[in-house]
Structure 1
Amino acid sequence: MTLLASYLMFAVSGPVIWLLAVAFVLAGVGIGCAETAEHAAVAAFAPQEIRGSAFGLLATVQAIGNVAASHHQSPRGIHLFRMADRRLLWNGRTTSRW
Structure 2
Amino acid sequence: MLRTEHRVRKMEARAIARTIETDGERPERAGYPDGDHFLGERTLYGGGQWVVVDADYIWSMHGNGADGDDWSANNVGGNIGWRIPRTDKMVASIRALHDAGARL
TM tier, shorter chain?
A: 0.3 to 0.5
Q: TM-score, normalised by structure 1?
A: 0.33
The structure where helix makes up a greater share of residues is 1
Q: TM-score, normalised by structure 2?
A: 0.32
Larger Rg: 1
